[in-house]
Amino acid sequence: MLTINHLHKQFGSLTALDDISFDVPDNQITGLIGQNGSGKSTTFHSILNFLKYDGQIRWNSQPIKEADFDAIGYLPEERSLMPKLTIEQQIVYLARLKGKPAKEIRPQIDDWLKKFAVKGKKTDKIKDLSKGNQQKVQLIVTLIHHPKLIILDEPFSGLDPVNADLLKRAILEARDQGAAIIFSSHDMANVEAVCDRLVMLRTGEVVLNGTISEVRDQFGKSEIYVTTDWTEEQLNQLPHVVKVQNIRGSRFLLRLDDPSKGPEVFEKLTDGKYIEEFSQQPPTLDEIFRMKAGISHE
Protein backbone atom coordinates (compact mmCIF):
# COMPACT_ATOMS: atom_id res chain seq x y z
CA MET A 1 0.00 0.00 0.00
CA LEU A 2 1.08 3.52 -0.82
CA THR A 3 0.57 5.97 2.05
CA ILE A 4 0.76 9.73 1.67
CA ASN A 5 0.79 11.83 4.84
CA HIS A 6 0.74 15.64 5.13
CA LEU A 7 2.24 16.19 1.69
CA HIS A 8 3.11 19.82 1.02
CA LYS A 9 4.75 21.41 -1.99
CA GLN A 10 5.51 25.07 -2.57
CA PHE A 11 6.67 26.65 -5.84
CA GLY A 12 7.74 30.14 -4.79
CA SER A 13 4.58 31.86 -3.56
CA LEU A 14 2.33 29.15 -5.08
CA THR A 15 1.12 26.37 -2.79
CA ALA A 16 0.73 23.40 -5.14
CA LEU A 17 -0.07 20.84 -2.41
CA ASP A 18 -1.42 21.81 0.99
CA ASP A 19 -1.21 19.06 3.63
CA ILE A 20 -2.76 16.25 1.57
CA SER A 21 -3.09 12.74 2.97
CA PHE A 22 -4.58 9.58 1.46
CA ASP A 23 -3.85 5.88 0.87
CA VAL A 24 -3.64 3.80 -2.29
CA PRO A 25 -4.36 0.22 -1.12
CA ASP A 26 -3.17 -2.95 -2.86
CA ASN A 27 -5.77 -4.71 -5.03
CA GLN A 28 -7.62 -1.42 -5.50
CA ILE A 29 -7.85 1.38 -8.04
CA THR A 30 -7.83 4.95 -6.76
CA GLY A 31 -8.94 7.80 -9.00
CA LEU A 32 -7.20 11.12 -8.42
CA ILE A 33 -9.39 13.84 -9.91
CA GLY A 34 -9.49 17.62 -10.01
CA GLN A 35 -9.33 20.54 -12.39
CA ASN A 36 -6.15 21.44 -14.23
CA GLY A 37 -3.75 22.94 -11.69
CA SER A 38 -5.34 21.17 -8.73
CA GLY A 39 -2.13 19.30 -7.86
CA LYS A 40 -2.57 15.89 -9.48
CA SER A 41 0.66 15.85 -11.49
CA THR A 42 2.58 17.40 -8.59
CA THR A 43 1.35 14.52 -6.42
CA PHE A 44 2.52 11.97 -8.99
CA HIS A 45 5.89 13.66 -9.38
CA SER A 46 6.33 13.70 -5.60
CA ILE A 47 5.61 9.97 -5.37
CA LEU A 48 8.19 9.34 -8.10
CA ASN A 49 10.73 11.55 -6.32
CA PHE A 50 10.95 13.95 -9.26
CA LEU A 51 10.37 16.78 -6.80
CA LYS A 52 11.49 17.63 -3.31
CA TYR A 53 8.54 17.95 -0.95
CA ASP A 54 7.56 18.22 2.69
CA GLY A 55 5.63 15.37 4.26
CA GLN A 56 5.85 11.60 4.11
CA ILE A 57 5.34 9.11 1.29
CA ARG A 58 5.69 5.44 2.18
CA TRP A 59 5.39 2.17 0.29
CA ASN A 60 4.41 -0.81 2.48
CA SER A 61 5.11 1.32 5.57
CA GLN A 62 8.68 2.13 4.49
CA PRO A 63 10.19 5.14 2.70
CA ILE A 64 10.40 4.51 -1.06
CA LYS A 65 13.92 3.33 -1.87
CA GLU A 66 15.74 3.49 -5.20
CA ALA A 67 15.20 -0.25 -5.75
CA ASP A 68 11.45 0.16 -5.26
CA PHE A 69 11.15 2.18 -8.47
CA ASP A 70 11.69 -1.02 -10.49
CA ALA A 71 8.29 -2.14 -9.17
CA ILE A 72 6.54 1.08 -10.19
CA GLY A 73 4.90 1.60 -13.56
CA TYR A 74 4.37 5.21 -14.62
CA LEU A 75 2.46 6.52 -17.61
CA PRO A 76 2.99 10.29 -17.97
CA GLU A 77 0.33 12.50 -19.50
CA GLU A 78 2.73 13.57 -22.26
CA ARG A 79 4.14 10.83 -24.48
CA SER A 80 7.77 10.06 -23.74
CA LEU A 81 8.57 7.54 -26.45
CA MET A 82 11.60 7.81 -28.73
CA PRO A 83 10.22 8.18 -32.26
CA LYS A 84 13.19 6.68 -34.15
CA LEU A 85 13.14 3.39 -32.24
CA THR A 86 11.08 0.42 -33.32
CA ILE A 87 8.27 -0.80 -31.07
CA GLU A 88 10.43 -3.71 -29.94
CA GLN A 89 13.48 -1.54 -29.27
CA GLN A 90 11.40 0.93 -27.26
CA ILE A 91 9.74 -1.73 -25.10
CA VAL A 92 12.99 -3.60 -24.45
CA TYR A 93 14.91 -0.43 -23.66
CA LEU A 94 12.46 0.84 -21.05
CA ALA A 95 11.92 -2.63 -19.57
CA ARG A 96 15.65 -2.96 -19.05
CA LEU A 97 15.59 0.30 -17.11
CA LYS A 98 13.17 -1.49 -14.78
CA GLY A 99 15.59 -4.37 -14.31
CA LYS A 100 14.05 -6.78 -16.81
CA PRO A 101 16.48 -8.48 -19.23
CA ALA A 102 15.78 -8.35 -22.96
CA LYS A 103 15.61 -12.15 -23.20
CA GLU A 104 12.68 -12.10 -20.76
CA ILE A 105 10.80 -9.24 -22.44
CA ARG A 106 11.19 -10.00 -26.17
CA PRO A 107 9.10 -13.22 -26.13
CA GLN A 108 6.21 -11.32 -24.52
CA ILE A 109 5.99 -8.45 -26.99
CA ASP A 110 3.77 -10.09 -29.62
CA ASP A 111 1.23 -11.11 -26.97
CA TRP A 112 1.13 -7.60 -25.54
CA LEU A 113 0.67 -6.05 -28.99
CA LYS A 114 -2.21 -8.42 -29.60
CA LYS A 115 -3.69 -7.75 -26.17
CA PHE A 116 -3.85 -4.02 -26.86
CA ALA A 117 -4.75 -4.45 -30.55
CA VAL A 118 -1.78 -2.36 -31.66
CA LYS A 119 -1.95 -1.78 -35.41
CA GLY A 120 1.66 -2.26 -36.39
CA LYS A 121 4.49 -4.77 -36.30
CA LYS A 122 7.13 -4.76 -33.60
CA THR A 123 9.64 -3.74 -36.26
CA ASP A 124 7.67 -0.55 -37.06
CA LYS A 125 9.12 2.71 -35.81
CA ILE A 126 7.25 4.64 -33.15
CA LYS A 127 7.02 7.73 -35.39
CA ASP A 128 5.07 5.76 -37.99
CA LEU A 129 2.28 4.82 -35.56
CA SER A 130 -0.92 6.75 -35.02
CA LYS A 131 -1.26 8.72 -31.79
CA GLY A 132 -3.64 6.10 -30.40
CA ASN A 133 -1.23 3.26 -31.14
CA GLN A 134 1.66 5.22 -29.64
CA GLN A 135 -0.42 5.61 -26.51
CA LYS A 136 -1.01 1.85 -26.43
CA VAL A 137 2.72 1.14 -26.79
CA GLN A 138 3.38 3.48 -23.89
CA LEU A 139 0.79 1.57 -21.86
CA ILE A 140 2.54 -1.70 -22.68
CA VAL A 141 5.83 -0.19 -21.51
CA THR A 142 4.11 0.82 -18.27
CA LEU A 143 2.69 -2.63 -17.55
CA ILE A 144 4.97 -5.23 -19.12
CA HIS A 145 7.26 -5.53 -16.08
CA HIS A 146 4.20 -6.30 -13.87
CA PRO A 147 4.61 -3.38 -11.45
CA LYS A 148 3.20 -3.48 -7.93
CA LEU A 149 2.38 0.24 -7.96
CA ILE A 150 0.94 1.73 -11.15
CA ILE A 151 0.60 5.49 -11.73
CA LEU A 152 -1.40 6.52 -14.78
CA ASP A 153 -1.69 10.20 -15.69
CA GLU A 154 -4.62 10.62 -18.13
CA PRO A 155 -4.23 7.09 -19.56
CA PHE A 156 -7.33 7.30 -21.76
CA SER A 157 -6.04 10.32 -23.67
CA GLY A 158 -6.21 9.74 -27.42
CA LEU A 159 -8.10 6.45 -27.14
CA ASP A 160 -11.46 5.83 -28.75
CA PRO A 161 -14.16 3.97 -26.71
CA VAL A 162 -13.12 0.53 -28.02
CA ASN A 163 -9.47 1.03 -27.14
CA ALA A 164 -10.40 2.67 -23.84
CA ASP A 165 -12.23 -0.57 -22.98
CA LEU A 166 -9.03 -2.53 -23.72
CA LEU A 167 -7.19 -0.33 -21.26
CA LYS A 168 -9.91 -0.69 -18.62
CA ARG A 169 -9.63 -4.47 -18.84
CA ALA A 170 -5.84 -4.26 -18.48
CA ILE A 171 -6.15 -1.99 -15.44
CA LEU A 172 -8.68 -4.32 -13.81
CA GLU A 173 -6.45 -7.31 -14.55
CA ALA A 174 -3.45 -5.61 -12.92
CA ARG A 175 -5.61 -4.77 -9.90
CA ASP A 176 -6.77 -8.37 -9.60
CA GLN A 177 -3.12 -9.45 -9.67
CA GLY A 178 -2.49 -7.35 -6.57
CA ALA A 179 -1.27 -3.99 -7.86
CA ALA A 180 -2.05 -0.70 -6.17
CA ILE A 181 -3.22 1.62 -8.94
CA ILE A 182 -3.72 5.39 -8.97
CA PHE A 183 -4.74 7.33 -12.04
CA SER A 184 -6.08 10.70 -13.07
CA SER A 185 -8.78 11.32 -15.64
CA HIS A 186 -11.10 14.15 -16.58
CA ASP A 187 -13.67 11.63 -17.76
CA MET A 188 -15.79 10.78 -14.72
CA ALA A 189 -17.44 7.90 -16.58
CA ASN A 190 -14.04 6.18 -16.79
CA VAL A 191 -13.37 6.92 -13.12
CA GLU A 192 -16.73 5.51 -12.06
CA ALA A 193 -16.31 2.45 -14.30
CA VAL A 194 -13.02 1.20 -12.84
CA CYS A 195 -12.26 2.91 -9.51
CA ASP A 196 -12.73 1.45 -6.06
CA ARG A 197 -11.75 4.72 -4.37
CA LEU A 198 -11.71 8.40 -5.20
CA VAL A 199 -9.60 11.36 -4.09
CA MET A 200 -10.44 14.84 -5.35
CA LEU A 201 -8.03 17.76 -5.15
CA ARG A 202 -8.99 21.41 -5.41
CA THR A 203 -6.22 24.03 -5.39
CA GLY A 204 -3.86 21.58 -3.71
CA GLU A 205 -6.22 20.37 -0.98
CA VAL A 206 -8.14 17.10 -0.57
CA VAL A 207 -11.87 17.86 -0.76
CA LEU A 208 -13.18 14.30 -1.28
CA ASN A 209 -11.72 10.98 -0.15
CA GLY A 210 -13.44 7.60 0.08
CA THR A 211 -14.96 4.75 -1.86
CA ILE A 212 -17.11 5.65 -4.85
CA SER A 213 -20.30 4.85 -2.94
CA GLU A 214 -19.13 6.78 0.15
CA VAL A 215 -18.39 9.84 -1.94
CA ARG A 216 -21.71 9.75 -3.79
CA ASP A 217 -23.70 9.06 -0.61
CA GLN A 218 -22.26 12.20 1.02
CA PHE A 219 -24.46 14.22 -1.31
CA GLY A 220 -27.69 12.37 -0.59
CA LYS A 221 -30.14 10.94 -3.09
CA SER A 222 -31.02 14.34 -4.48
CA GLU A 223 -31.83 13.23 -8.04
CA ILE A 224 -34.79 11.38 -9.46
CA TYR A 225 -34.87 9.80 -12.91
CA VAL A 226 -38.43 9.50 -14.09
CA THR A 227 -40.20 8.43 -17.28
CA THR A 228 -43.64 9.98 -17.41
CA ASP A 229 -46.24 11.62 -19.63
CA TRP A 230 -46.15 14.73 -17.42
CA THR A 231 -44.88 17.86 -19.12
CA GLU A 232 -41.77 19.70 -18.00
CA GLU A 233 -43.95 22.54 -16.76
CA GLN A 234 -46.03 20.15 -14.63
CA LEU A 235 -42.91 18.51 -13.18
CA ASN A 236 -41.56 21.92 -12.18
CA GLN A 237 -44.66 22.39 -10.01
CA LEU A 238 -43.93 19.31 -7.89
CA PRO A 239 -42.99 20.08 -4.25
CA HIS A 240 -39.24 20.21 -3.49
CA VAL A 241 -38.28 19.92 -7.18
CA VAL A 242 -35.81 22.73 -7.85
CA LYS A 243 -34.78 21.81 -11.38
CA VAL A 244 -36.12 19.67 -14.22
CA GLN A 245 -33.96 18.46 -17.08
CA ASN A 246 -35.38 16.71 -20.10
CA ILE A 247 -33.02 13.87 -20.90
CA ARG A 248 -34.79 12.47 -23.92
CA GLY A 249 -38.41 12.21 -24.96
CA SER A 250 -40.50 11.49 -21.87
CA ARG A 251 -37.49 10.82 -19.57
CA PHE A 252 -36.56 13.54 -17.08
CA LEU A 253 -34.08 14.25 -14.31
CA LEU A 254 -35.54 16.01 -11.27
CA ARG A 255 -33.31 17.65 -8.66
CA LEU A 256 -34.64 17.93 -5.11
CA ASP A 257 -33.90 20.48 -2.41
CA ASP A 258 -34.33 17.72 0.19
CA PRO A 259 -33.59 14.05 -0.62
CA SER A 260 -35.93 12.88 2.16
CA LYS A 261 -38.87 14.25 0.17
CA GLY A 262 -38.50 11.59 -2.54
CA PRO A 263 -41.51 9.57 -1.29
CA GLU A 264 -43.69 12.69 -1.31
CA VAL A 265 -42.69 13.43 -4.91
CA PHE A 266 -43.39 9.80 -5.81
CA GLU A 267 -46.90 9.98 -4.32
CA LYS A 268 -47.71 13.20 -6.13
CA LEU A 269 -46.33 11.99 -9.46
CA THR A 270 -47.93 8.54 -9.49
CA ASP A 271 -51.21 9.26 -7.66
CA GLY A 272 -51.55 5.53 -7.14
CA LYS A 273 -51.06 4.75 -10.85
CA TYR A 274 -48.38 2.84 -12.72
CA ILE A 275 -45.24 4.75 -13.74
CA GLU A 276 -42.61 3.35 -16.06
CA GLU A 277 -39.56 4.67 -14.18
CA PHE A 278 -38.88 6.31 -10.83
CA SER A 279 -35.29 5.99 -9.60
CA GLN A 280 -33.90 8.14 -6.78
CA GLN A 281 -30.09 8.30 -6.74
CA PRO A 282 -27.14 10.36 -5.50
CA PRO A 283 -25.53 12.75 -8.02
CA THR A 284 -23.18 11.23 -10.60
CA LEU A 285 -19.44 11.71 -10.21
CA ASP A 286 -19.54 14.19 -13.08
CA GLU A 287 -22.09 16.32 -11.22
CA ILE A 288 -20.17 16.00 -7.95
CA PHE A 289 -17.00 17.10 -9.73
CA ARG A 290 -18.80 20.19 -10.99
CA MET A 291 -20.17 20.99 -7.54
CA LYS A 292 -16.88 20.56 -5.68
CA ALA A 293 -14.84 22.31 -8.36
CA GLY A 294 -17.17 25.30 -8.11
CA ILE A 295 -18.69 24.81 -11.57
CA SER A 296 -22.41 25.45 -11.54
CA HIS A 297 -24.84 23.28 -13.45
CA GLU A 298 -25.67 24.47 -16.93
How do residues 236-254 score in pLDDT, each as one tens digit? 999 999 999 999 999 999 9
What is the model's pLDDT at position 71?
Answer: 94
What is the model's pLDDT at position 80?
Answer: 81
pLDDT band at 295 (very low <50, low <70, confident <90, very high): low
What is the model's pLDDT at position 33?
Answer: 94
What is the model's pLDDT at position 294?
Answer: 66
Superfamily of domain 2-217: P-loop containing nucleotide triphosphate hydrolases (3.40.50.300)
Q: How far apart are CA 59 and CA 149, in angstroms?
A: 9
Q: What is the mean pLDDT of residues 263-283?
A: 92
Q: How far apart are CA 59 and CA 24, in angstroms?
A: 10
Beta-bridge partner residues of 166: none
What is the model's pLDDT at position 292?
Answer: 86
Residue 265 pLDDT exceeds 70: yes
What is the model's pLDDT at position 75?
Answer: 92
How do residues 168-226 score in pLDDT, each as one tens digit? 999 999 999 999 999 998 888 889 889 999 999 999 999 999 999 999 888 899 999 99
Q: Which percentage of the chain shows pLDDT scores above 70?
A: 98
